[in-house]
């Protein structure tokens, strides 16, 4: 019996994405707690791993690459990426330089 369009079988891509997300998270935890690297290097590596994980989740779980009308969807994705960058960069900036005014 042939599969219909709604029956695609076991979701291997989702399982792979989930496992890859767990591996990236565990790598970030190891880098933060056990690597012994300088603080700036740790922050840079964690940010890189976070962007990799966000990309994986956008593609595999949020279906960024699907849909007929991708322009509106792409605009919202780019806006979300911009907001994420502003939040991460702002948080790092405040955690790095914010305490200097309270001494």
- Residue whose entry in the numeric block shows the structure tokens 């956008």: 58
Summarize pLDDT for 43-64 with one digit per residue, the tens.
999 989 998 998 888 777 776 6
Per-residue model confidence as pLDDT tens digits over 28-45: 999 999 999 999 999 999
What is the pLDDT confidence band of residue 65, given thresholds at 50, 70 and 90?
low
Domain locations in the chain as residue ranges: 12-102
Give me the residue label for tokens 């994986």.
Answer: 56
What's the whole-number average pLDDT of the chain?
81
Query: What's the pLDDT score for residue 63?
Result: 65
Q: What is the pLDDT of residue 19?
A: 93
pLDDT at position 11 is 85
- Judge whether 54 and 84 are in contact, CB under 8 Å: yes
């Amino acid at each position: 019996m042939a599969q219909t369009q709604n029956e695609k079988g076991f979701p291997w891509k989702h399982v792979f994405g989930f496992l890859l997300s767990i591996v990236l998270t565990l790598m970030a935890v190891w880098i933060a707690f056990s690597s012994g690297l300088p603080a700036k290097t740790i922050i840079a590596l964690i940010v890189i791993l976070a962007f990799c994980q966000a990309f994986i989740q956008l593609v595999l779980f949020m279906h960024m690459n699907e849909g007929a009308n991708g322009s509106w969807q792409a605009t919202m994705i780019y806006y979300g990426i911009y907001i994420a960058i502003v939040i991460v960069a702002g948080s790092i900036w405040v955690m790095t330089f914010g305490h200097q005014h309270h001494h």
